[in-house]
Amino acid sequence: MASPVTEPVKRPVGVTILAVLAVIYGIFNLLLALLGLLGSALLASRIAPAAIKYSAGTLIYATISDAVLGIAFLAFGAGALMLKGWAWMVGVGVFVLLMVRQVLDFVMQGFGAGPIIRGGITLVIAVAVLVYLFTPDVRRAFGRTAAR
């Protein structure tokens, strides 16, 4: 008995858009991490401590989280463009991490109007992307079988 011929899966337009945005966001996060390093260096050298409005701990947290998210978003974006199976898992992980980071930012910055609006938008986008990643067509495009 002959095995069924499978057609190559076409990348959904939404995945392409998401992948390109992920690469851009990853680059942006890596640039923010570099700024965090610069701010930490300025704070440590005492050249311009008044110009840095964040504590050393906050700068370290922001720099590390921006670097991790930047690398993860770049990996997801590149893998999603090629429809690699591992990219789906990275995408799910990176958007969950983004949500966790946002909740931590709420706790660290307080629940004022600015953080609530910015953070709320980030959380809504992250949840929407996660819902999209779990749709059957997207899972199938990444070689993931639908959950039973």
Q: CA-to-CA distance for 145 and 136, rounded, in angstroms? A: 8
Average pLDDT of the chain is: 85
C-alpha gyration radius of the chain: 19
Please give the structure tokens belonging to residue 101. Answer: 């980071």
Evaluate whether residue 1 is within a structural domain.
no
Could you read off the pLDDT of 55-100 as tens digits, one per residue? 777 788 889 999 999 999 999 999 999 999 999 999 999 999 999 9
Evaluate whether residue 8 is within a structural domain.
no
Sign of CA dihedral 93, 56, 51, 31: negative
Could you read off the pLDDT of 12-39 as tens digits, one per residue? 999 999 999 999 999 999 999 998 888 7
Evaluate whether residue 64 is within a structural domain.
yes
Please give the structure tokens belonging to residue 130. Answer: 């996660």
Total structural domains in the chain?
A: 1
**pTM for the whole structure:** 0.83
